[in-house]
Structure 1
Amino acid sequence: MKALLLAGGFGTRMRPLTERLPKPMAPVGNRPWLEHLIAGLKEQGIREIVIAVKHYPERIIDYFGDGRKLGVDIRYTHEPVPLGTAGAVKNAEALLGSRFVVINADIVHRADIRALVETHERSGAMVTIGLVEVADPSQFGVVEQSADGRIVRFVEKPPRGEAPSNRINAGIYIMERDVLQAIPAGREVSIERETFPSLIAAGHRVQGADVSGYWMDMGTSDRYRRIHWDLLDGKLELELPGRELGRGIRIGEDTEIAQGAMLVPPVLVGSRVTIGERAVVGPYAVIGDDCVIGRGARVTHSILWDRCTAAEAAQLNRCIVGSGLKIDPRHLLHEAVVNVIPEAETI
């Protein structure tokens, strides 16, 4: 079975981090989330992958190529204009098989795709939608189901307390090819507001199935932080580079930690990182590759992407710092989300 990964969104709620980066390429545990996602699909036997791209597509295509280095086959579709979720599926029609899985690539999850396929086959549905339960469904698309799991209607972002259930669309779908006939070509089409309701109205079975395992929408900087704290706490299990230095401390290759520096667990430090004397890193810190943490600097509850510098006596708390950025000596940042425009792109 093939997988279609929808990676064309603009990631507006995560700006400035996604200003020139597709949201699924944001690092999770010092590795692009999209790479984790593809590796997870491979583990479940899915090796033919189509990626729908639009926002800075070269960042994805240059990184993954044809997928050979990951042991999968990757092809790409480009959206000439924003097409919405269903429109992006329709745009990939020529590359899809008789049955396929569609995944919103900016959702961080460890879903059991095989279990969804089994439910799909048993129910005889045209579409099976992965569902998760949330405490507050007011920011999501909510479903109402019959006793046998069939979806009877969708309610988009209902007011708090008025939702028909707490089950929301997890952004993971098992689809039969016939679904593509219900999607008009060449225009923006919403899969929740247009495609799925039209299938239900026509009498086709749209099934809902609970997704087991970790799930989190990476849509905001707060959720992005939470994903990393869950990773450090072991709630999200991903393959991470480096080695365990102590309980809750993992470091990469060729990383140098000066005498008197402190790593306070949980913490993840990448490769070729330099941590200066009396610096404190952690708790809840993720440091990317090739970073420099200066003498006396302190980095807590923060995520630094690759090639960052926290100079002498700088202090960062609850920050997210984009690749290549330098925090000057003795600067204090609290709950900051900062990024830089690459020099070649400076206007």
Structure 2
Amino acid sequence: MAACGSLAASRNRCTCRSRPSPASSDGRSSRACLRCCRSPWWCRCPASPGSAARTWRGHSTSPRWARRSVWDTCSLRPGSGSSTFDWGPACRGCCLEMPVLTSNHWNEEQQARPGTFDGEPLVGAILAAGRGSRMEPFGERFPKPILPICNKPLIVYQIELMRSLGIRDIVVLLGHRGFEIAKILGDGRQFGAHIRYVEQLDLLGIAHAVGRLEPFVDRPFVLFLGDIFFIPNDLSLMWTVFQDQGGGAVLATKRESDPALIRKNFTVTLSPDGFVTRVMEKPRHATNGLKGVGLYLFDLTIFDAIRRTPRTAMRNEYEITDAIQVMIDDGHPVRIANAIEDDVNLTTASDLLAINLQRARHTSAGELIGPDCRFHPDVQIVDSVIGRDVWVEHGISIRRSVVFDGARIRGKGPIVNAIVTPDVTVDCSQMADFHIEEPVAVVTRASSRRAAAAARPV
């Protein structure tokens, strides 16, 4: 059995270089990969008996993820935490640039067909590779899919929606700081799912991202754009329409009264019998009030359409709407489904604040304040969402704001219409006209048992 081709024989640190390393007598890698490096090489471990080795960059490997903490990597060495030739959970964060991550064994029933579930008709896919450049100044630090909405990452809401459809096999496309997403989701067991990860190095549009999924999808799949928060109406309607028309594609749409929102997304033209005849990206004129919401159901013909989709002249990218138009021109059925009640595209910090305040009205007050917080006895929190392990040193007022996990608030002035992270505070004063009819949660020493129990005085 060949040793891991990526583990370097460094005593202090595994450099994850894709080169042969000395093997021990039992065929395992000779040195532990103690912490993963930040090079574009992924730590890979030796193929075990009975598992099919994969070839990557000239080396035959079979990835295996050990039961280790966040920064430890895949190693079957003694003391790595995994039992002999056994899988641990997913690799929970490793190199900044990751090649394709797959698993040959998740559990015993999956050994024959990796990453699939016999009898289940759908795969789930989430595109989570974007950088969020307009979400600055904290977009560089936090991938948009992990931004919190009422103290739960956006991508977790999407995983839960897929699970509500009975989908267990999920593929997540990673890019910018993808290890942060993998750290939160793991291998999906906590959600009753199996999550695999695929890398997208070049951001060339949504169609290009979907094309990266082709080797990992073998049946119809539901596609979520990872930077959109969905409030569902009836997602099962998409599958019903898909079955009725015998495949093709189903696009989730909603009736939108604001033409400006339609012009920021895409719209469709329908034939008299309800089939889509044209898909228009960012139309100049919103003629029928239908807005696409970034949720799709495709069969495998979409991949052939993507291969024949040219780049756009304006943005030099491969647009998914152009690929859908290729499907339509080829004669494949494409229809719409009113499966979404509302959607919010997280583009700017103001969008994040708005959706948190909106959802806070439908969330219990106890869930709006994370555990392990410490507040000054006179602090007052109104219409706000507070993450875990937050410290507020003075008796200030926090109104219509979102505070991220681990933030330390040491200032003496009020915080209003803001997003507070451990590194920076973002003023969203342009949202001053945003109105909440009633306070969501008011926390003071006298009025909240939650404050006394969970938020210890500083």
Task: Check whether the contact 1:125–1:207 (CA below 8 A) recurs between aligned residues.
Answer: no
**In the alignment, is residue 25 of structure 1 matched against residue 146 of structure 2?**
yes
1:259 corresponds to: none
2:238 corresponds to: 116
Task: Check whether the contact 2:263–2:282 (CA below 8 A) recurs between aligned residues.
Answer: yes
**In the alignment, is residue 58 of structure 1 matched against residue 179 of structure 2?**
yes
1:313 corresponds to: 412
2:378 counterpart (278, 286, 293): 278
Higher alpha-carbon deviation: 181-190 or 107-116: 181-190
TM, length-normalised to structure 2 = 0.61
- Partners of 1:25 and 1:311 in 2: CA distance: 25
2:338 counterpart (171, 196, 210): 210
Q: Percent identity?
A: 26
Q: By how many angstroms is 1:125 displaced?
A: 4.4
The change in CA–CA distance for 1:299 and 1:120 in structure 2 (over 3 A counts) is same
1:171 corresponds to: 294
Task: Check whether the contact 1:23–1:106 (CA below 8 A) recurs between aligned residues.
Answer: yes
The change in CA–CA distance for 1:80 and 1:181 in structure 2 (over 3 A counts) is same
Amino acid at match of 1:147: P
- Partners of 1:168 and 1:61 in 2: CA distance: 31
TM, length-normalised to structure 1 = 0.80
Query: Alignment length, in residue pairs?
Result: 300
Task: Check whether the contact 1:311–1:326 (CA below 8 A) recurs between aligned residues.
Answer: no
Task: Check whether the contact 2:265–2:293 (CA below 8 A) recurs between aligned residues.
Answer: no
Q: By how many angstroms is 1:295 displaced?
A: 2.5
1:335 corresponds to: 429
Task: Check whether the contact 1:90–1:185 (CA below 8 A) recurs between aligned residues.
Answer: no
1:129 corresponds to: 251
**In the alignment, is residue 146 of structure 1 matched against residue 146 of structure 2?**
no
1:8 corresponds to: 129
Task: Check whether the contact 1:151–1:207 (CA below 8 A) recurs between aligned residues.
Answer: yes
Instruction: Kindly indicate which of the two structures has a greater share of residues assigned to strand.
Output: 1
1:289 counterpart (388, 403, 406): 388
- Partners of 2:430 and 2:381 in 1: CA distance: 17
Post-superposition Cα deviations, 1:184-214, rounded to whole Å, max 9, x if no partner, equal 299852111x201212222222111112334
Bigger CA radius of gyration = 2
Q: By how many angstroms is 1:272 displaced?
A: 1.0
Q: By how many angstroms is 1:277 displaced?
A: 2.4
Aligned residue for 1:213, secondary structure, equals strand
Task: Check whether the contact 1:316–1:334 (CA below 8 A) recurs between aligned residues.
Answer: no
Amino acid at match of 1:103: F
Post-superposition Cα deviations, 1:147-167, rounded to whole Å, max 9, x if no partner, equal 3321111222233xx222221
Task: Check whether the contact 2:252–2:340 (CA below 8 A) recurs between aligned residues.
Answer: no
Q: By how many angstroms is 1:336 displaced?
A: 8.9
Amino acid at match of 2:286: A
2:450 corresponds to: none
1:49 corresponds to: 170
Amino acid at match of 1:286: V
The change in CA–CA distance for 1:308 and 1:184 in structure 2 (over 3 A counts) is same
1:342 corresponds to: none
Report the RMSD for the aligned CA atoms in angstroms.
2.3
Post-superposition Cα deviations, 1:237-276, rounded to whole Å, max 9, x if no partner, equal xxx7xxx5xxxx325xxxxxxxxxxxxxxxx211111121
Amino acid at match of 1:318: N
Provide structure 2 residue ranges, at least 5 long, that are not aligned to the other structure: 1-121, 312-316, 432-458
The change in CA–CA distance for 1:334 and 1:165 in structure 2 (over 3 A counts) is closer
